[in-house]
Amino acid sequence: MFDKLTRTFSDVLRQVSGKSSISEKNIQDAVEEIKIALLEADVNLRVVRRFVNHTIEEARGEKVLRSVNPGQQFIKIVHDRMVNLLGSETEGLQLKGPDTLSPILFMGLQGSGKTTTCAKLALRLKKEGRKPLLVAADLVRPAAVKQLQLLGEQTGVPVFAVEGEKKPVKVVKQALSFAKKNSFNTMIVDTSGRMHLDDDLMKEIQEINSVLKPVEGLLVADAMTGQQAVEIAKEFNERVGITGVILSKFDSDTRGGAALSLKSVTKKPIKYVGVGEKIDELEQFHPDRMASRILGMGDVVSLVEKAQETIQEEEAEELQKKLQSSTFTLQDYLEQFTRIKKMGSLQSLVEMIPGMKGNIDEDALNSKEMKKEEAIILSMTLQERHNHRIIGPSRRKRIASGSGTSVFDVNRLLKKFDKMRLMMKKMTKNKKLQAQMLSQFNGNI
């Protein structure tokens, strides 16, 4: 997601940020490149035009051309516009208090991810201390009820279904009284999808909507469908009324245009994004963090939060010291593998680190490679792990055969480790660079 866009943005912004003075022509050129990148990312044409015009207008103002640091001012403008495009504020669900039932209606086209997302959200709300009930109101697809029941078992959230019932509205009515009687405070209703936006589907959803009176009407849209997702959201909003969008399959290799156009076109916020098939792969959508990520500035906040879940602060500090003083050993490297496994994919983590994107050999990040490296290090003695410089040719041969790899693999790991230590040392030492990056987004330039 956003790979190409980020690359273009990073290039453009890097060029601009280095300049001590900026001319109107510089701004024009930078904006032109940004425009092309947005169009290539399949962002809605009207949205792109508005973005470009606003950016030029603001950047032309004397503020940028005459400011002490015009490059940074310009970056800030682009960043703020991008946040604005994505929705300004993080918008959570507007649920009622714990003693009142909050019904949530899910809708969307066939295969967009409704059923999966219902269960993901139920699990999330349960973890937040609510008492959710899942309601199976997709009575069109034969296996739909069963699918929700299985997901209910996985998440430990009860599923309300009525055997033999053909009318979703009747199921919803019964579910409402069941939920109230059994003091559930959140009710998540899964509905059926259709291949296209047709009257049948709209009528069914409208009917359910008027009976359920949901506090949240959430549209699940498939990020992979690009601009079509925006059209679908517009239609559902006009005909049923939605309170927000959940963009599913955000983990897929799409150009990202949907995420960037949705808010501007529908005026409804993206509330969550689905980032995988697994039941816990649903994330709250943060426009500001996403903007920084798209601009290639790294999602520092997300990274820190994610890392903190697994690395205790002292450990992190110790690691930082080791990195700075070059006492980071292969044993430390090995220990990082375990942490990384706990944190999720290395790739997604790396993308969040400022300046790392594009700077690292992506092949080296796949887990197959990680397993190989793990095996190699495990075949080393502790002494070797603590001082890799003693690993000469005969040791390399022994390690290779011990780990079922080749001397070539061992050489490669050792070379990479040296390179990595050097790079990390540079990065951690360059506090000024880090501070600069952060201050750009604090609004206090």
Distance CA 418, CA 397 (A): 19
For ligand GTP, the closer CB: 277 or 309:
277
| 280 φ, ψ (degrees, to nearest 5) | -100, 10
Q: What angle do CA 305, 311, 317 make, to 5 degrees?
A: 100
Q: Which stretch binds Mg ion (CB under 5 A): 53-61, 71-79, 111-119, 408-416?
A: 111-119
Q: Is 428 annotated as a binding residue?
A: no
Place of tokens 């808010």: 263
Check the annotation: does 194 bind a ligand. Answer: yes
Report which residue's Cβ sits closest to ligand GTP. Answer: 274
Nearer to ligand GTP, 80 or 138 (CB): 138
CB of 364 to ligand GTP, least distance (A): 24
**CB–CB of 374/337 below 8 Å?**
yes
Of 191, 287, 285, residue with least CA distance to 247: 285
Structure-block tokens of residue 421: 């230590």
In whole angstroms, give the CA distance from residue 5 to residue 36.
10
Q: Structure tokens of 83?
A: 């946040």
Cβ-based nearer residue to ligand GTP, 113 or 257 = 113
Helix axes 24-40, 70-86, angle to 10 degrees: 30
Min separation Cβ 121 and ligand GTP, Å: 11
Flag whether 192 is marked binding: yes
| Residue 225 annotated in ligand binding | no
Q: Does 112 bind Mg ion (CB under 5 A)?
A: no
Phi-psi category of residue 239: left, alpha or beta, with phi > 0 → left and psi -120 to 50 → alpha: alpha
The residue among 79 and 114 lying less far from Mg ion, judged by its C-beta, is 114
Q: Are 242 and 114 in contact (CB under 8 A)?
A: no
Residue 369: C-alpha distances to residues 140, 181, 381, 444 (Å): 45, 54, 21, 43
Consult the annotation and say whether 115 binds a ligand.
yes
Phi, psi dihedrals of residue 222, rounded to the nearest 5°: -80, 115
Is residue 422 part of an annotated ligand binding site? no
| CB of residue 127 to ligand GTP, shortest distance in Å | 18
Site stretch for Mg ion (CB under 5 A), options 18-26, 113-121, 253-261, 430-438: 113-121
Tell me the torsion sign for CA atoms 223, 262, 47, 60: negative
Q: Kindly tell me which of 293 and 396 has the beta carbon lying closer to ligand GTP.
A: 293
Q: Which is nearer to ligand GTP, 107 or 260 (CB)?
A: 107
Q: Which residues of 251-274 are buried (b: 16+ CB within 10 A; e: fewer)?
A: beebbbbbbbbbbbbbebbbbbbb
Question: Shortest Cβ distance from residue 193 to ligand GTP (Å)?
Answer: 3
Q: Which is nearer to ligand GTP, 71 or 168 (CB)?
A: 168
115 touches Mg ion (CB under 5 A)? yes
Least distance from C-beta 253 to Mg ion, angstroms?
23
Residue 225 contacts residue 141 (beta carbons within 8 Å): no
Q: Which does 388 bind (CB under 5 to 8 A by kind): Mg ion, ligand GTP, none?
A: none
Assess 8 for contact with Mg ion (CB under 5 A).
no
Residue 218's SS3 state is strand
Of 109-117, 217-225, 240-248, 401-409, the segment contacting Mg ion by CB under 5 A is 109-117
Which residue is it, tokens 């699990």? Answer: 123
Residue 193 labelled as part of a binding site: yes
Smallest gap from Cβ 108 to ligand GTP, in A, equals: 6
For ligand GTP, the binding residues (CB under 6 A) are 108, 110-116, 138, 141, 144, 193, 248-249, 251-252, 274-277
Residue 194 C-beta: closest distance to ligand GTP, Å: 8
Which residues fall in the annotated binding site?
Answer: 108-115, 190-194, 248-251
Which residues fall in the annotated binding site for GTP?
Answer: 108-115, 190-194, 248-251
Contact residues toward Mg ion (CB under 5 A) are 114-115
